[in-house]
């Protein structure tokens, strides 16, 4: 059955961030859809239930006069047997004024922030009174907002599927991966590149893997390295992070970093994390 979440609230209370959180949870996200065409969109959701099974729609004061038709829209949803829940994001005037001051954005409804906030409260008051859930974001971090939304959706945020991990191997001679959150340097391990029979192989090769695994430096390093990663991931989930890139580098990105990244990705996959693996520089300098 199609279910629609209606997200509303005060400008500056975190609606844009909330929409991103819904998207991270696999929702189709529609920002500030004109109320006049919302009826047609509901029909689309009903016609394609698989695609729009989980949908969130943002409606706020930018809809202007269209807000007067909000009750009619709810009647349409009821008549079409579409389940819905209204989530309203709120914050104190003082916090909203401060956020506008920090971002230097002009409030869409007023010449100054406080004037706009007061006008907006009147405009969205009807939605506020109908809200199934009101979230006060005055003192919430992004992670806490994500947790609050997860609870509304009945999701267990501690579950590993909510963190998408990308493990990337790379060569320092080609530069650091720009998207990396965590970078580990494995150049302290003896380089197979200087062993003639291993030079033109990669970290995916069994002989190269054995050469690296047999080194006492690697035997000491990998258990500590993997435990550090495993022990810190729950903290990233709690903080609200949805995507994490772990980069492992060696000189050329063909041997040591490739094997270490392969080993780490397999270990995290066994822990039920969603893991992608990319060997960025494994084909660099390949002889043809």
Using one digit for the tens of pLDDT, what is the confidence trace for 42-71? 888 888 888 888 899 998 777 666 677 788
Q: Is it true that domain 3-153 has CATH number 3.30.70.20?
A: no
Q: What is the pTM of this model?
A: 0.64
DSSP, collapsed to helix, strand or coil, labels residue 275 as: strand
Q: What confidence tens digit (pLDDT) does each residue in 90-103 have?
A: 999 889 888 877 76
Burial category of 44 from C-beta neighbours within 10 Å (exposed 0-12, middle 13-18, buried 19 and up) = exposed
DSSP 8-state symbol, 66: G
pLDDT of 222 over the 80 cut: yes
Domain ranges in the chain are 3-153, 160-279
Token couple for 282: 């494994």
The position carrying tokens 């054995």 is: 210
| Dihedral sign, Cα of residue 272, residue 278, residue 279, residue 281 | negative
Q: What confidence tens digit (pLDDT) does each residue in 229-266 have?
A: 999 998 888 777 888 999 999 999 999 999 999 999 99
Burial category of 57 from C-beta neighbours within 10 Å (exposed 0-12, middle 13-18, buried 19 and up) = buried
DSSP 8-state symbol, 157: T
């Amino acid at each position: 059955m199609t279910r629609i979440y209606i997200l509303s609230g005060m400008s500056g209370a975190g609606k844009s961030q909330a929409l991103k959180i819904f998207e991270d949870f696999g929702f189709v996200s529609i920002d500030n859809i004109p109320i006049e065409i919302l009826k047609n969109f509901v029909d689309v959701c009903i016609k394609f239930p698989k695609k729009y099974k989980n949908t969130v729609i943002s409606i706020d004061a930018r809809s202007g006069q269209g807000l007067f038709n909000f009750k009619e829209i709810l009647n349409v949803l009821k008549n079409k047997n579409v389940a819905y829940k209204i989530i309203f994001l709120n914050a104190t005037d003082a916090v909203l004024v401060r956020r506008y001051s920090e971002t230097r954005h002009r409030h869409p409804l007023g010449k100054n922030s406080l004037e706009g906030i007061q006008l907006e409260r009147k405009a969205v008051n009807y939605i506020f009174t109908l809200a199934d859930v009101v979230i006060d974001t005055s003192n919430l971090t992004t992670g806490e907002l994500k947790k609050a939304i997860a609870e509304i959706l009945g999701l267990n945020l501690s579950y590993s599927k909510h963190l998408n991990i990308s493990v990337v191997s790379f060569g320092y001679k080609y530069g650091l991966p720009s998207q990396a959150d965590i970078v580990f340097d494995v150049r302290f391990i003896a380089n197979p590149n200087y062993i003639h029979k291993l030079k033109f192989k990669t970290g995916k090769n069994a002989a190269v893997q054995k050469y690296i695994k047999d080194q006492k430096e690697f035997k000491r390093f990998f258990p500590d390295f993997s435990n550090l990663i495993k022990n810190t991931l729950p903290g990233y989930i709690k903080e609200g992070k949805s995507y994490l890139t772990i980069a492992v580098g060696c000189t050329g990105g063909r041997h040591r970093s490739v094997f270490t990244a392969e080993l780490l990705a397999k270990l995290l996959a066994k822990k039920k994390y969603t893991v992608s693996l990319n060997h960025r520089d494994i084909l660099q300098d390949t002889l043809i």
